[in-house]
Structure 1
Amino acid sequence: MENAFANNRLTRRFAALKAEDRAGLVVYVTASDPDLETSAQLLAGLPGAGADIIELGMPFSDPMADGPSIQRAALRALASGACMNRTLAMVKDFRKTEADTPVVLMGYYNPIDTYGAQRFAIDAAAAGVDGVIVVDVPPEEADEIQPVLAAHGVAFICLSTPTSDDARLPAILKYAGGFLYYVSVLGITGTVSAAADAVAAAVARLKRHTSLPIAVGFGIKTPQAAATVARVADAAVVGSAVIDRLAAGLDANGKPTPRAVPDTLAFVADLAQGVRGARQ
């Protein structure tokens, strides 16, 4: 699947990053967290803050691979009225002013299945979505969603973990497009961090199997940690730490204070500075 999306935003962005000899910063935020207006403001500000690729979480009531930070974000979003229609509308509105930054939807299959996989693929492509990560769809079940996404030019982005050995990787890479997301630690998001040498060894091994860019996520909490990953990988993914910064800007009732979005974007800018200076 590696050459199926030769001219989409993800491919162009990674080519530009390679030309600049630097890694990218992938920033995860949850759609409609803590509410639609605040989430839309944050989304609109991410490219200017230095996010090279945006992962937009599709809120789900049982995000089993996510730690407490993203779980709470999903619950806040759902309480504010989040749904698939609203998430796709957010991307469509974002595209009115930002044509180049890739947007990847990330989440679980249940909301997609409820919406309808074919309808989801059509509407996601129309909204300007470039890729989709479905955490709970293994390669053995990818035929349910990958072909319909590919038919509409949307990459199905696959996950590899420390337990994905050389025998397992061909099954994963059969369906992978856009980039390969390496989950650097076992367990849920936002917890422990992988050792730098372990990440370097894992990225080197994966690159022997695929020409897809390798993005590394889970456990990256600081600009320094992002820079460490950016020295060896094609992108560093930061999610829970960004969500935590946003949550710190909410009041006791979970409502955003005036500093919520600016402080979160300032943190993203710090992460971007770490990533961009990592190979200098």
Structure 2
Amino acid sequence: MTRLVSAFAHGPALITFVTVGDPCPAATPAILDALVAGGADVIELGMPFTDPMADGPAIQAANIRSLAAGTTTADTFAIATGFRERHPHIPLVLMGYANPMLRRGPEWFADACADAGIDGVICVDIPPEEDDALGPALRAKGVAQVRLATPTTDAARLPAVLDGAGGFIYYVSVAGITGLQQAAEGSIEDAVARLKAATDLPVAVGFGIRTPEQAAAIARVADGVIVGSATVDIIAAHGVDAPGPVRAYIETLKSAITKVKS
């Protein structure tokens, strides 16, 4: 978890997402290295799943490609372990759904995360009210349970979202699936201010951020900028040749965020 603290210590962090095994498990390490080379401060690894209900068409298609290539949970942890050996200081956050995380038990999953050098976990379909399903096992191993807040998270429910949360708060800036919408900047600013008044954790904003201009706008009001579908689209277009284009794209986002920092 100390890697996550460090990632947010020097201004807004660039958080990037890719689906493990897209286009195939052998291609993922080079894509992850390209994210780091482009300037990513935190990397979210999407665990492929057959029914990614919170994700839009781009990430749904990435899940299909990954599963068609035979990607397994063992592949996910092997790729994470290799990444940690190459990049000891860049935080890794697993993002996915309860079924692959819990099918062998929460303790098994938490142990595997700790052994692979995973810093945090985002489980989309375990609500805070069901934290006992996974949260205690993760926290016992020092793995952050990164929680999601949305435009519909009201003052009555926010304490439950924050209870047991770690690493950062992922603010989902629109009520919908990933990749299709961009919320108004003013509404994001108000939401981030409300969250920051309630927690000392960094607040990172995602859903619908694609351009350097959008990334810079979010960086002015939030502690982190999360980009997923746009990178996944590049991987879809270039396949195993994606590392170069991915690095070039991430560099444009990092440059825009760095200018905000300065």
TM normalised by structure 1 equals: 0.91
1:265 to 244, 247, 254: 247
SS in structure 1 at match of 2:89:
coil
Matched, 1:194 2:178: no
Query: How far apart, in 1, do the equivalents of 2:105 and 2:248 lie?
Result: 37
SS in structure 2 at match of 1:201:
helix
The correspondence of residues 227-266 of structure 1 with structure 2, limited to 5 A, is 227-250=216-239, 256=240, 258=241, 260-266=242-248
1:47 to 36, 40, 44: 36
Q: In the alignment, what sits opposite 2:7?
A: 13
1:98 to 71, 87, 91: 87
Matched, 1:23 2:12: yes
Deviation for aligned residue 1:45: 2.3
Q: In the alignment, what sits opposite 2:112?
A: 123
Query: How far apart, in 2, do the equivalents of 1:43 and 1:26 lie?
Result: 12
Query: How far apart, in 1, do the equivalents of 2:22 and 2:213 lie?
Result: 26
Count how many residue pairs are aligned between Structure 1 and Structure 2.
262
Query: How far apart, in 1, do the equivalents of 2:261 and 2:41 lie?
Result: 16
Contact map agreement 2:20 2:76 (CA 8 A) in 1: yes
CA deviation map 1:12-65 (0-9, x unaligned): 2222x2xxxx21100000001001121111112221210000000000010000
Contact map agreement 2:95 2:124 (CA 8 A) in 1: yes
SS in structure 2 at match of 1:208:
helix
Matched, 1:69 2:63: no
Residue identity over aligned pairs, in percent, reads 50
Contact map agreement 2:41 2:91 (CA 8 A) in 1: yes
User: Which stretch has the larger CA shift, 34-43 or 187-196?
Assistant: 34-43
Matched, 1:154 2:147: no
Matched, 1:274 2:256: yes
Query: How far apart, in 1, do the equivalents of 2:177 and 2:56 lie?
Result: 5
Contact map agreement 2:34 2:246 (CA 8 A) in 1: no
Contact map agreement 1:84 1:115 (CA 8 A) in 2: no
Matched, 1:171 2:153: no
Query: How far apart, in 1, do the equivalents of 2:218 and 2:170 lie?
Result: 13
Query: How far apart, in 2, do the equivalents of 1:115 and 1:91 lie?
Result: 19
TM normalised by structure 2 equals: 0.98
SS in structure 2 at match of 1:249:
helix
CA deviation map 1:59-100 (0-9, x unaligned): 001000000000000110111111111101101011111100
CA deviation map 1:140-185 (0-9, x unaligned): 1111100000000100000000010111100110021000000000
Contact map agreement 1:227 1:278 (CA 8 A) in 2: yes
Deviation for aligned residue 1:248: 1.4
2:26 to 37, 54, 62: 37
Which stretches in structure 1 are left out of the alignment for 5+ residues?
Answer: 251-255
Deviation for aligned residue 1:279: 4.0
Deviation for aligned residue 1:278: 2.1
| Counterpart residue type for residue 3 of structure 2 | R
Query: How far apart, in 1, do the equivalents of 2:261 and 2:102 lie?
Result: 42
Query: How far apart, in 2, do the equivalents of 1:238 and 1:185 lie?
Result: 14
Which stretches in structure 2 are left out of the alignment for 5+ residues?
Answer: none
Larger relative helix fraction: 2
Contact map agreement 2:45 2:95 (CA 8 A) in 1: yes
Contact map agreement 1:32 1:40 (CA 8 A) in 2: no
SS in structure 1 at match of 2:8:
helix
CA RMSD of aligned residues (A): 1.0
Query: How far apart, in 1, do the equivalents of 2:119 and 2:194 lie?
Result: 26
